[in-house]
Structure 1
Amino acid sequence: MVELQDAIPIARRTFLAGAAAIGAYPAIAAAPGVQPLEDALRDDLGRLSALYATPGIAVALLQRGQPTRFLSTGSKPGVSERTVFQVGSISKLAAAIITLRLVDAGRIGFHEPVARYLRRWQLPPSAFRAESVTIARLLSHSAGISVRGYFPGSLYPGPVPSLVDSMEGRAAPAERVFINAAPGSTYAYSGGGYSILQVALEDLTGLPFNDLAHRELFAPLGMEASSFGYDGVVRPGGTRPHDLAGRAMPVRVFPNMAAAGLSSTAADLAILLDAVFGDTKDRPALLSPASRALLATATAPLSPPAAQPGFSQMMLAPETVRDPAAFRYGPGAAIAQRADGRLIVGHGGSKAGWKATAQYAPEGSGIVVLTNGEAGNGVILSAVSRWRDWLDTAAGAPPVGKALDHAPMAAAAAFARNGAAAAADVIRNAANAPGAWFVSDRSAAEAYGQISSFAALQGWSASDVKAAATALTHAGATSFPQSAFAQAAYALALAQSGSAEARQQLALAESLDADSDSRQLLAQTRQALGDAK
């Protein structure tokens, strides 16, 4: 059984109390109260699909005691709750559930060193104690393991490296897995940690990960369309990924299945959320009560304070953005704690051309959003924000905002379709209507980051990317004239493009109060200009 009390010293007791009460919250108002949310989402899906160049969207709305409701848009093929999408890091939630099933069965120790279960691969020698890399720490991204994520993956059909080749860095040096920080000392998101977990589970059970998932998860829950196999998304009924312009892309896969290999549907993920976080009093439980509670308990150390809150925290708990303790990881799930103590538990997913999320509130409501567009996080932000606002209304909590469009994602999609000027217009228009947009002095830089990271897959030239940097950061600088970050970002773009205006812009940026991110941009600008300062 899970040693739940062992998690208490590194978990906020408010999180633990909330997690232990999953299934005990009063139910939100029944179906008539959900209808406005369903109607609003249905009416908006077409607009969101166009704004974010995302051809396919599938949504599931869960409500305790009510049939799950499904919404979708898209054709070629027709998108529905049964359409298969790749769901990226939602794989980690599934992998954690599989692991906790084995913990409940006594097959693996939650706090045991993972090295006890490894056969094909071993942790490389390091200055840190391998014995401190435990199953629990791998699940909560606190084991000090390298490799944040995997991108873009191998074209499929086609050759795919083995999992061990990936972990050894033979497929790509950046994918080499090793201990790079003291285990247990800090939180650092790590797909590499879940690759270690995959090797351990396969070596322990003697089963390929997809077969293990079918035995422990898909078959017991009737998740008939879900798979960790490479063929999962290319079989009939699957969708294709799409780039920032909304054009179909080739399918890519990873051998790192526990980290990012799941293909699933809105219907199957709704089943998963309900089985793990919903009311189980009238049906067999997938997990023990201790494991269910632990899955929704924040056990990872606090993240270092960030100048800008993360996307998920802004979406799920915007009133807590100045509190890094309000968004933390447990063993397999991210836990957002609202200002009034309510929780939202789940995971997002991102792969090239796919974006997804699956979230659940212990009051008895959940949402799944699957998209097949690279800018699909814009769809997710708007849909989940509407759901979050509906939760607040149903709970009698004061509203914290409304559904917003995501300026960086919309700008990136606009650039892909219509060029740099169109992208800059999105930033300017959003800054002039902040009540309708998720926009800040960093939005232009975020849009440029999205464009830059996707440039190779999109086929953009270096001059295309530089044009985007200059146009976007100029829009950011003019929209946020008192922001040192916005002015420094524009100065750096000018310096990197060789503009004679760079020094004047640098002087303007240096005259403003700068945070750590802004100071870093200023230093990069001086370096680009050849200054020693």
Structure 2
Amino acid sequence: MSHTAGVSTRGFPGYPDTTRVPSVAEVVTGARTNTQPVELITLPGLEFMYSGGGITLLQCIMEKVMDTSFEKIVRAYVLDPLGMTRSCYKLADGEANVSQSYYTGFLPTENKWHIQPEQAAAGLWTTPTDLLKVVRALQSSLCEEPGNALSKASAETMLTRIKESMALTWFADNTKFGHAGGNNPGWHCFVFGYADLPWNKNDEGHSQIVQRTPSKCGIAVMTNSATGYLAVSKILHAITYLKGWPEFHTVSAGNAFETPLRAPKNAVTPAEWKDWIGGSWSDSWELVEAGSGLPAARITGSDVLIALRPAAISSVSYSIELLFDGLSLMLRLGWDGDERIVEFWNGGLATRTTLRSS
């Protein structure tokens, strides 16, 4: 459940041809499948290694122990109790209210969707509303509310990190838990909820969030495009910005968050940005005041000024977020102890570098 068993096969592409779908047993053994056999490839407990194959083994174990299908198990213990009426592992005959997948948002894929025999790892059909019912159930369990889905102890165990950012089925840090989702031929999704999880110390190296953790809040974003994760990232930034919630640092491994959208036109740049004027930043950039009195940036020695606009992303600690107008670049003006620094985002969180005044 924490992807630390050392089991192979990260994910599954699914099958577009409904007449040639293998059984879950065949998926595990690699017979008649488009993936390799699910095997133990490293020592159990040695490292975090995301494995849809391991989750598929868990599906087999559950079906064997309970002598029924995985779909019936989840229906009885999760979907029905939580009122997840728009969630299933097999579409009902004649179901029309289901998304067609796209490559880019404009060009539909040749197949509307793929069939996933690996139900536990990749086969859930659901909606943002239903996903947030799971998030709310965990939040309520942590608060020991009447009728909660789990005991507080079980909820805490589920959200305690085992390796890196991975807890039991959820990625988690000290203020939230969540998980990304993606299926061929074209879906990208994300769901997360805020929760006070102090036992998961934040050791990711970025500025600590100073805002109070929101109570029973969360976001689910689902897209039906192979390029949808770019939109998911920007939407998550924008919602937290507009709600005044703490900035969303991704808690899901392998998903690099992109630069945010521009803030609404009436957003005001804090006057404190001028405190960062002076000198060049790591021999690369200079902050200057444009003729309009607004911030701008330029490469050291260049006469070309690029306007900086407020970004739709929540601040961390004391920081000011400024987008290069029309570009996927962002400067975050902040602090490292008593030293003023600038984070330079060249396309996203994964590419950020720290610029120091020279």
Within a 5 Å distance, the mapping from 1:41-60 to structure 2 comes to none
Q: Which residue of 2 aligns with 1:325?
A: none
Amino acid in structure 2 at the alignment position of 1:357: F
> How many aligned residue pairs are there?
249
Q: Which residue of 1 aligns with 2:329?
A: 434
Structure 2: how far apart are the matches of 1:435 and 1:233? 48
Q: Which residue of 2 aligns with 1:222?
A: 83
1:170 Cα deviation from its structure 2 partner: 1.4
1:245 Cα deviation from its structure 2 partner: 5.5
Q: Which residue of 2 aligns with 1:385?
A: 237
Any idea what the Cα deviations from partners look like across 1:196-221, whole Å, max 9, x if unmatched?
Answer: 00000000111111111110011111
> Larger relative contact order (C-alpha < 8 A, sep ≥ 6)?
1
1:349 Cα deviation from its structure 2 partner: 0.1
Q: Which residue of 2 aligns with 1:359?
A: 192
Amino acid in structure 2 at the alignment position of 1:404: P
Within a 5 Å distance, the mapping from 1:340-379 to structure 2 comes to 343-352=175-184, 353-362=186-195, 363-379=215-231
Q: Which residue of 2 aligns with 1:206?
A: 67
* TM-score normalized by the length of structure 1: 0.42
1:185 Cα deviation from its structure 2 partner: 0.5
Within a 5 Å distance, the mapping from 1:415-430 to structure 2 comes to none
Structure 2: how far apart are the matches of 1:385 and 1:434? 15
1:259 Cα deviation from its structure 2 partner: 0.5
Q: Which residue of 2 aligns with 1:285?
A: 148
1:277 Cα deviation from its structure 2 partner: 2.1
1:267 equivalent to 2:129? Answer: yes
**Secondary structure of the structure 1 residue equivalent to 2:100:** coil
Amino acid in structure 1 at the alignment position of 2:160: T
Q: Which residue of 2 aligns with 1:150?
A: 12
Higher helix share: 1
Amino acid in structure 2 at the alignment position of 1:261: G
1:282 Cα deviation from its structure 2 partner: 4.5
- CA gap of 1:430–1:260, structure 2 versus 1, over 3 A, is farther
- CA gap of 1:276–1:432, structure 2 versus 1, over 3 A, is closer
Q: Which residue of 2 aligns with 1:252?
A: 114
Structure 2: how far apart are the matches of 1:146 and 1:234? 36
**Secondary structure of the structure 1 residue equivalent to 2:226:** coil
Structure 1: how far apart are the matches of 2:5 and 2:152? 25
Within a 5 Å distance, the mapping from 1:132-143 to structure 2 comes to 139-143=1-5
Amino acid in structure 2 at the alignment position of 1:286: A
Higher strand share: 2
Amino acid in structure 1 at the alignment position of 2:173: A
1:430 Cα deviation from its structure 2 partner: 9.1
RMSD, aligned α-carbons: 3.4
Q: Which residue of 2 aligns with 1:83?
A: none
| Identity over aligned pairs, percent | 23
Amino acid in structure 1 at the alignment position of 2:191: A
**Secondary structure of the structure 2 residue equivalent to 1:262:** coil
* TM-score normalized by the length of structure 2: 0.62
Gaps of 5+ in 2: 196-214, 250-256, 262-323, 333-343, 351-358
Amino acid in structure 2 at the alignment position of 1:220: P
Structure 2: how far apart are the matches of 1:177 and 1:233? 31
Amino acid in structure 1 at the alignment position of 2:131: L
Correspondent of 1:196 among 35, 39, 57? 57
1:329 equivalent to 2:166? Answer: yes
- CA gap of 1:394–1:373, structure 2 versus 1, over 3 A, is closer
Q: Which residue of 2 aligns with 1:239?
A: 99
Kindly indicate whether the alpha-carbon contact (under 8 Å) linking 1:298 and 1:330 is maintained by their aligned counterparts in 2.
Answer: yes
- CA gap of 1:143–1:433, structure 2 versus 1, over 3 A, is closer
**Secondary structure of the structure 2 residue equivalent to 1:329:** coil
1:157 Cα deviation from its structure 2 partner: 3.8
Structure 1: how far apart are the matches of 2:171 and 2:183? 18
